Chain A
Amino acid sequence: MRRLETNIILILLIASQTYAQVNSDPFAETFTKYDLQEKSIITLNDIFSLSHKWKSSTINGYSNRASGNGLSTYQRQNFIVLVNGQKFDISFMDDINLDNLPFTIEQVDSVVFINSPINYKGYFTQSGLIEFILQKPAEGFSLTAMQSIGNMAGDPGPFAYTQYRSSNIDKLGFVAGIGLTSKGDNWQLTTSVKYNENFITDKSLSNRISMLTESSKQKLIGTSAEIGYNFLNGYHNFIFAFNQNDDFIFFPIYGNEIPSKRILRHTGFAGNFPIGKSITINYKITKSINELARSDNSLNLNFDLKLNTTVIGSGINYNNSYFNSGFNLVYEKYDGNRSGLNNDEQFNFLKLYWTFSFNPLDKIDQSFNAGLVKNSKKNIYKASWLTSYVPANGHSLTLNASYFESTLTEDLNYFTWTANGLPLILPEVVEKELIGNQSGKSFGLDFIYDGKFKLINTSIGGFVRRFEKYYLDNYYYHLSSKTKYLTGELQYSTMENITQIGLNAGLEFFLTKQLTGDFSYTFMKGIEGSEQFLLEWRKFPIHSFRCDLNYSNDGFAVWWRIQYSSSSYWEDYKYLTAQTFSFYNHDLKGKILIDLSFQKYFWNNKIWINLLFKNLLNQEERYSPIGIKYGLRFYLITHLRFESLLN
């Protein structure tokens, strides 16, 4: 017995330091609250404009489909979302709306993007990862708040009463949020409430939605509470969150939006504590309920799935002067409640992740990440091997070679939940079951060079990825002249392959103490593969560049951005272009956009006001062939921060 205990301790001792992540840092991009303010981020969905390595597309203008550094298509929305280290299961039916997280941008301390497959805080980031680190409360009692209002140019104005009458564009989304925090010697409490609303006034969208419902407003209310305490020399936190989003969910299989109430409930308990100087134990228990509840509509469409998720995990991390090592074990249960089944349908996963980092030579770091995902049907393997060369302080070159497998079950999307033959939408509007190969594998090589000089920081990176035996759902949409709905003709295909390459370069410069800026360029292209996969990849612009300039002095700042994206091609909508006389167009043209913002702090940094103009040149700005058209618009954003009020 004693020998067994000794062996277990020995295994745990050489297990990894998953949280140390020494070698994974180059593949992480971190943006602080100051970056978020400077770059005029208004909603959580806006954060995709921070990282030039992430591409995003929007139909309604307020939620996105995103792809992190070429790690996924817009079809598969599987990137991981963490809040203070806790995973939030907001991915539902291949849709991730970050605004379903129940806090505003005012409460965010930093955002981390992981752009390569690695082990990060006990998760393998094969589709990328975004982590929000929330601001720590100040001593005593504090109050924060934010609100944003905006308007887009192009209303008819008085000409509505003349021969020049046109449709009303109306105001842009309204965002408001309040946070209350308190902090004592060994504890802290953070609570928040937020409210968003958006108006469906653009004809591209309202033509479809008005046939289903009289409502033309999306509204979201979210609330959260986090209690943290220091205990056993570690930190432990409990997060509760509730979010309800009365929205119009675009469902690709149906081809149109479905009015639904997106409800998310999340409770999570996580923490860590040290044992001695070298060992840290971490644990997490989260429970969440994801639901698309019925919202009134003329066709009585309703999603038939309530998803209960339970995650229980623990890990041990060991580090000494020679190596870091860690081992994480996670059990995940997805319990789907369906009206047509007596018993809930379940998918269970047991996930094991191991990381081992060491320095074989001076100036060289190595990190080996391995993962095993076990469900009832098969074992799925994931691995990556990072090598960092640090020739001098401030300079590093890192390579990451990765291999991972993926399955339909892991995706937990429409095809996963209809594999049993039951429809997901009632009344049944589509009946498609994925038949054929349901698991794929991917090989990748990512590299990045980071260099810090006196007045500039540079970053040059790139990747080669090979996806093999993946399934794709391809659509060919038509417009029904009678109903104004789009009808989608679904053709799924399996055994799809692609090789894609990407290159990105970033330059951060500090011209004077007051004048700073950054420049970035990305290139991304599928170079070889099956036709459908290559077509799917053409939804991403091949070239994009961006240049930001910021002048700040004494609490006042002017921020300016010019950006360019090359054209993109959307095969799904190719018939609509002719059918609608280019009202919907499957070729999105390249565009140059200029944004300008004036920002000022008042009352010793308690109040921050931002007057933001987007798309100053009033260019046609569209991110999906069937999505809304943006033009010149302006926002007034106010943040309030009253800290340590009763001290």
Chain B
Amino acid sequence: MGKKYYILILFWVFFLKLNAQQNPFSEIYFSLKYLENMDIKDLHEYWEANHGAYLSTETNFYTGFIGIGVETQYFESRNLQQPDYRTLFINISWRYKLEISGKAGISAGVRSGSYLMLFDDSEQSEFENTESELAVSSFVNIDIPVASCLMVNFNSDFITVFTKKRVKLFNASAGLTYIIETPKWIKNVLE
């Protein structure tokens, strides 16, 4: 229930601040993060979540930042009845950042997209080895600039995968973000 309120508040912020950004798409942020699972809720009985990685690209939007990304994680089975599986979370994200000083700040956001599960199950057909499902994540991110074009960031992320019995994951991650000014041709495409 708390997550619903979180998303609702972010949605209001999105509308209230929609005209705040005067120069959208002016910068591009490339991020690579290492992630570690903190909790896998009901999956814990059957699988152990290994570390993973998150690669994303963001740009400043009319308000906040919009981006696309892909996150991968490996789940190791605790017994023979369940196969190991790898996930790919291909998502679109939006976050709103409260800037504290310069580019340093704390941001809150949501990600949504297709959560692809690739099962290491040689007995099943190829079709059943792969499954995708809608996933939504709410996250909090801290950015600390270390150079004019480089930031260190720390992230906590709560993911819900909308399977019939929900998959819920809590991940923490840390990584680097590299910032460039948007090339004119890319800006033309984005606009």
Query: Are B165 and A164 interface neighbours, CB within 8 A?
Result: yes
- With the chains together, A156 CA to B62 CA distance in Å? 38
Interface string of A349-374 (1 = CB under 8 A from B): 00000000000000000000000000
Interface string of B37-57 (1 = CB under 8 A from A): 000000101110000000000
Query: Are A161 and B190 interface neighbours, CB within 8 A?
Result: no
Interface string of A134-169 (1 = CB under 8 A from B): 000000000000000001111111111110101010
Q: Which single member of B43, B47, B75, B114 contacts A151 (CB below 8 Å)?
A: B114
Binds A, one of B26-34, B78-86, B148-156, B172-180: B78-86
Q: Which single member of A153, A551, A613, A633 contacts B18 (CB below 8 Å)?
A: A551
- With the chains together, A618 CA to B114 CA distance in Å? 17
Among B110-152, those with CB < 8 Å from A are 112, 114, 117, 119, 121, 128, 131-134
Question: Closest residue of chain B to A169, judged by CB?
Answer: B164
- With the chains together, A554 CA to B167 CA distance in Å? 37
Judged by a CB distance under 8 angstroms, whether A195 is at the interface is: no
Residues of A within 8 A of B189 (CB): 602-603, 607
Judged by a CB distance under 8 angstroms, whether B161 is at the interface is: yes
Residues of A within 8 A of B112 (CB): 611, 613, 634
Judged by a CB distance under 8 angstroms, whether A632 is at the interface is: yes
Q: Write the nearest CB–CB distance from B92 to chain A, whole angstroms.
A: 6
Number of A-B residue pairs, CB cutoff 8 Å, is 88
Q: Write the nearest CB–CB distance from A4 to chain B, whole angstroms.
A: 68
Judged by a CB distance under 8 angstroms, whether B19 is at the interface is: yes
Question: Closest residue of chain A to B75, judged by CB?
Answer: A158
Residues of B within 8 A of A156 (CB): 131, 163-165
Q: Which single member of B82, B85, B92 contacts A162 (CB below 8 Å)?
A: B82
| B contacts with A, residue count (CB < 8 A) | 34
Q: Write the nearest CB–CB distance from B115 to chain A, whole angstroms.
A: 8
Q: Write the nearest CB–CB distance from A199 to chain B, whole angstroms.
A: 11
Query: Are A161 and B163 interface neighbours, CB within 8 A?
Result: no
By size class, the interface of chain A is 20 to 34
Judged by a CB distance under 8 angstroms, whether A543 is at the interface is: no
Query: Are B82 and A157 interface neighbours, CB within 8 A?
Result: no
- Known contacts A553-B62, A634-B112, A634-B134, A159 near B163 by CB under 8 Å: yes
Query: Are B191 and A157 interface neighbours, CB within 8 A?
Result: no
Q: Write the nearest CB–CB distance from A211 to chain B, whole angstroms.
A: 21
Question: Closest residue of chain A to B62, judged by CB?
Answer: A556
- Known contacts A154-B163, A158-B117, A634-B134, A553 near B18 by CB under 8 Å: yes
Query: Are A161 and B62 interface neighbours, CB within 8 A?
Result: no
Q: Write the nearest CB–CB distance from A152 to chain B, whole angstroms.
A: 8
Judged by a CB distance under 8 angstroms, whether A469 is at the interface is: no
Query: Are B134 and A632 interface neighbours, CB within 8 A?
Result: yes
Judged by a CB distance under 8 angstroms, whether B101 is at the interface is: no
Interface string of A539-563 (1 = CB under 8 A from B): 0000000000001011110100000
Judged by a CB distance under 8 angstroms, whether B15 is at the interface is: yes
Interface majority SS on A: helix, strand, loop or mixed? mixed
Residues of B within 8 A of A556 (CB): 62
Query: Are B133 and A153 interface neighbours, CB within 8 A?
Result: yes
Judged by a CB distance under 8 angstroms, whether B6 is at the interface is: no
Query: Are B47 and A604 interface neighbours, CB within 8 A?
Result: no
- With the chains together, A554 CA to B25 CA distance in Å? 13
Residues of B within 8 A of A634 (CB): 112, 134
Question: Closest residue of chain B to A560, judged by CB?
Answer: B11
Question: Closest residue of chain A to B131, judged by CB?
Answer: A155
- Known contacts A555-B191, A602-B190, A166 near B134 by CB under 8 Å: no
Q: Write the nearest CB–CB distance from B11 to chain A, whole angstroms.
A: 9
Query: Are A157 and B188 interface neighbours, CB within 8 A?
Result: no
Judged by a CB distance under 8 angstroms, whether A466 is at the interface is: no
Question: Closest residue of chain A to B43, judged by CB?
Answer: A158
Interface string of A566-578 (1 = CB under 8 A from B): 0000000000000
Judged by a CB distance under 8 angstroms, whether A171 is at the interface is: yes
Q: Write the nearest CB–CB distance from B122 to chain A, whole angstroms.
A: 14
- With the chains together, A603 CA to B132 CA distance in Å? 30
- Known contacts A603-B189, A634-B134, A154 near B82 by CB under 8 Å: no
Residues of A within 8 A of B85 (CB): 158
Residues of B within 8 A of A160 (CB): 131
Query: Are B131 and A157 interface neighbours, CB within 8 A?
Result: yes
Query: Are B167 and A157 interface neighbours, CB within 8 A?
Result: yes
Q: Which single member of B43, B45, B83, B164 contacts A155 (CB below 8 Å)?
A: B164
- Known contacts A158-B117, A611-B92, A153 near B188 by CB under 8 Å: no
Q: Known pairs A158-B46, A158-B75, A159-B167. 12 more at Cβ < 8 A?
A: A151-B114, A151-B133, A157-B117, A157-B167, A158-B47, A161-B82, A161-B119, A164-B164, A164-B165, A168-B131, A171-B132, A632-B162
| Partner-A contacts on B (CB < 8 A) | 15, 18-19, 43, 45-47, 62, 75, 81-83, 85, 92, 112, 114, 117, 119, 121, 128, 131-134, 161-165, 167, 188-191
Could you list some 26 contacts between A and B, CB below 8 A?
A: A153-B133, A155-B133, A156-B164, A156-B165, A157-B163, A157-B167, A158-B43, A158-B75, A158-B117, A161-B81, A161-B83, A161-B119, A161-B121, A162-B45, A162-B46, A162-B81, A164-B164, A164-B165, A166-B165, A168-B128, A555-B191, A556-B62, A618-B162, A632-B134, A632-B162, A634-B112
| Partner-B contacts on A (CB < 8 A) | 151-162, 164, 166, 168, 171, 551, 553-556, 558, 602-604, 607, 611, 613, 618, 632-634
User: Which 10 residue pairs spanning A and B have beta carbons closest together?
Assistant: A157-B163, A153-B162, A161-B82, A166-B164, A603-B189, A164-B165, A154-B164, A159-B165, A155-B133, A153-B134
